[in-house]
Amino acid sequence: SPTGDSWGIFTFLCAALCNLPALPALNCSEELGAGQSIQQTYDLTRYLEHQLRTLAGTYLNYLGPPFNEPDFNPPRLARAERVPSATVDLDLWRGLTDNARLAANYRAYSRLLCYLRVLDGQVGTAELRHRLAHFCASLQGLVLSIGGVMSSLGYPLPAGPAGPPAPPGVPTAPNDFLKKMDDFWLLKELQTWLWRSAKDFNRLKKKVPPAVVTLRLEARGF
Amino acid sequence: DSHVQYERVGADVTMKCGSMDWDAAVTWTANGTDIDESHLNGSYLILKNVGLSQSGQYSCYEGSSWHLKYQTYLRVGTPPKEPVLMCRSNNYPKGFYCSWHLPTPTYIPNSFNISVIHGTKDMVCERDAVPKNRCHIRYLQLFSTVKYKVTLTVTNALGKNFTTLTFDEFAIVKPDPPESVVAKPVPNNPRRLEVSWQNPSSWPDPESFPLKFFLRYRPLILDQWQHVELSDGTSHTITDAYAGKEYIIQVAAKDNDIGTWSDWSVAVHATPWTEEPKHLTTEAQITETTSASTSSFMAPPTTKICDKGAVVGSGAVAVCWTAGLVVAAYSVLFI
């Protein structure tokens, strides 16, 4: 069936593209140096949040109304649950261990990066492709940065973002409007994650001062 | 029987004397004062184009027996205009509050109903006892992608109106201004002022949700502010104050990453440290001080000559010292 084929292609694309972030993190040990401090990761999230504002504005205009209307407030469809959500219970968020906190960020951005890359392959205008490509590169940098912090603190990197980003059986958007809805929610989740990460890394900053991170790296002979 | 009657400003009001016939002989009073017969149509009281001043108690008495047949309290007012609603989170991440008011009074009692919808969920905004036009809500979840929709409906006897606000969790974050702002001079430093303040007490978790600050200061005599943005710490030393000038200083706060700046704090005044008292006007006083201060080359008496655009550096001191010498020379002549 046509939906089955496109689903297959989608899964393959994602699996292929999603395995990319994991490799450099393992090979490029120079990048896991002292530079990968929590402060730098925090700064990266702020930079990305700023970049996203421009990108989202351009992209939503490309999607056209109602997606680019400021008070567009659609209900969340079940299909949107594929995109990892930053929303969390307050006490749960407070109680996260450093490892869990970092891992949640790592997993989320790896998945989001994957989705964005698929988007990149589909958009029409050259300007949008250029912006998306630039953003994806920066987002990859963030994933690497988080991975670096985790490694330097002795935490194992979460199992790669490989595998289908959605449970099998959930089809790709059957029509143009729902596809645009998917894009809308992707950008929204990305934005919310970047706001959340700033808070996550603030908390980590207080609990794990950069000095500690550097010391551990020296002990490992980096 | 007695009841309350609400009517719009400018309306024509007809009051019937209870169950009395139209042609019965009655007397109407307004707040105890007899009403002239010209306002009557039979036993009905006609009030044309009622105004606010016509609010009051109206009573109808049977002509001869002076029995009270009907009584009503007339309240003249207006239906509510669209209310003004504001929502704000000054205690992030605990929750937010909404407060409201009517742009113009209605002169009659109003009731307010507020509803908060988060996605598909209805949330309860708990009304505050004081102030009355305010309610607060606790966040159940943090970092939500779904907007909050707050609808305020105001109803009174003459009509109703409503307004809606839709916003993201992050958009309404605005702390209260910093508290306990203190500015002090620094001993032996004529161009410094030490400013310190505290996080607003309503901000529940400055550890995980740090605030950054914006300081502004100017001498009272100038209109232009100087600004400093501080990403952490609750103190700052101003090092470029004009010597001897009284300063006005204010601080504002903002969450490090989201939301908007708070209002400015209460203003504090401070003057940098000066060596001598400023009231040197008589020659005798000038003579005393110049002869006494030959031992030090430091801060000269702050006379008008030295104050003109006091700039840092030995140049200014030299000018002042020279001025002091000239004055000393002059005063010697006059002894």
Distance between A38 CA and the closest CA of chain B, angstroms:
14
Of A76, A196, A206, the CB nearest to B119: A76
Q: What is the DSSP letter of B332?
A: H
CB < 8 Å to A76, chain B:
119, 145-146
Residue bearing the bigger pLDDT, B270 or A26: B270
Q: Do A87 and B210 touch (CB under 8 A)?
A: no
**Using the beta-carbon criterion (under 8 Å), do A195 and B170 form an inter-chain contact?**
yes
Q: pLDDT tens digits for B48-61? A: 999 999 999 999 99
Write down the ipTM of this complex.
0.75
Of B77 and B283, the one with more pLDDT: B77
How confident is the model at residue B313, as a pLDDT?
Answer: 43
Question: What domains are there in chain A, each with its CATH number?
Answer: 38-166+175-207 (1.20.1250.10)
Q: What angle do CA B53, B56, B60 make, to 5 degrees?
A: 130
Q: Which residues of B touch A72 (CB under 8 A)?
A: none
Q: What is the pLDDT of residue A203?
A: 86
Give the whole-angstrom CA distance, residue B105 versus residue B78: 8
Structure confidence by residue, pLDDT tens digits, B287-334: 554 444 444 444 444 444 333 443 444 444 444 444 445 555 555 555
Contacts of A93 in chain B (CB under 8 A): 142-143
Whether A75 and B120 lie within 8 Å, measured CB to CB: yes
Cis peptide before B272 (omega within 30 of 0): no
Q: Looking at chain A, which residue has its C-alpha nearest residue B94?
A: A90
Q: Do B143 and A195 touch (CB under 8 A)?
A: yes
Interface test with B, best of A39, A202, A204, A208 (most B CBs within 10 A): A202
Which band of pLDDT confidence, cut at 50, 70 and 90, is reported for residue B125? very high
pLDDT at B155 over 80: yes
Is the CB of A192 less than 8 angstroms away from the CB of B145? Answer: yes
Distances, alpha carbon B76 to alpha carbons B15, B30, B82, B101, in Å: 14, 14, 19, 20
Each residue's pLDDT tens digit in chain A (222 positions)? 444 454 445 445 555 555 544 434 333 343 344 335 888 999 999 999 999 999 999 899 988 889 988 878 887 776 656 778 899 998 899 999 999 999 999 999 999 998 888 877 776 788 888 889 999 999 999 999 999 999 888 889 987 654 444 444 445 667 788 888 888 989 999 999 999 999 999 888 877 655 554 444 444 444
Nearest residue to B63 (alpha-carbon basis) of B30, B14, B17: B17
Q: Which among A75, A93, A202 is the nearest to B256, CB-wise? A: A202
* B206: CB partners within 8 A, 6+ apart: B199
The full set of domains in chain B, from first to last, is: 3-77 (2.60.40.10), 84-167 (2.60.40.10), 179-270 (2.60.40.10)
pLDDT digits 0-9 by tens, A168-188: 444 566 778 888 888 898 999
Answer yes or no: do B145 and A203 touch at CB < 8 A. Answer: no
Cα B312 to chain centroid, rounded: 39
B145 and chain A: CB distance < 8 Å anywhere? yes
What is the reported pTM?
0.74
- CA A222, CA A215: separation in Å to the nearest integer? 10
A188 contact partners, CB below 8 Å, separation of at least 6: B145
Asked if residues B299 and B312 have their Cβ atoms less than 8 Å apart, the reply is no
